[in-house]
Amino acid sequence: MPNAVFHQIEIEPNPHRLRVIHCGITLADTSRGFTLKETGLPEVLYFPREDVNMTRFERSAHVTHCPYKGDASHFHLHTEAGEIVENAAWSYEMPYENAAAIKDCVAFYPSRVDRIDQTS
């Protein structure tokens, strides 16, 4: 019998300053972020919603489901130039118990923003 696939999620406080920048504008800046490590996926940085400029974001109709974290709401980014970057960010507003640390935090798709920085 083959080994069962083991899926693990680890969420740890990130001790660094984290920032998201797009078109020269800082969208998120925190020293209270989290790093989520999930089996088979790249690490994801999560920002407390209080440290994200949510006035730049509009909830979209797009929702995704993760069998390990729950349902994620997505957000369009409105840029200074009046452009919209569709579904640039997501948030687990009611995550499963094992992902409770990221409740109401926001994560960003690296391909939809210019930079996600982690500094000392």
Task: Write the CATH number for 38.
Answer: 2.170.150.40
What is the C-alpha to C-alpha distance for residues 70 and 92, in angstroms, rounded to an integer? 7
Q: What are phi and psi of 29, to 5 degrees?
A: -155, 115
Question: What's the confidence (pLDDT) of residue 4?
Answer: 54
> What one-letter code names the amino acid at 15?
P
Number of domains in the chain: 1
Residue 2 counted as domain residue: no
Confidence of residue 120 (pLDDT cuts 50, 70, 90): confident
Give domain status of residue 1, yes or no.
no
pTM of the model as a whole: 0.93
User: What's the pLDDT score for residue 1?
Assistant: 44
Question: Largest alpha-carbon pair distance within the chain?
Answer: 57
Task: Identify whether 48 is part of a domain.
Answer: yes
Cα of first residue to Cα of last residue in the chain, in angstroms, is 47
Instruction: Flag whether 103 is in a domain.
Output: yes
Are 21 and 113 contacting, i.e. CB atoms less than 8 angstroms apart? yes
For residue 2, the model assigns a pLDDT of 53
Does position 113 have pLDDT exceeding 60, yes or no? Answer: yes
pLDDT, tens digit (0-9, with 9 covering 90-100), for 44-73: 999 999 999 999 999 999 999 999 999 999
Structural domain contains residue 3? no
Domain of residue 107 covers 10-119
In a domain, 18, yes or no: yes
Does residue 3 carry a pLDDT above 60? no
19 occurs within a structural domain: yes
Domain assignment present for residue 51? The answer is yes
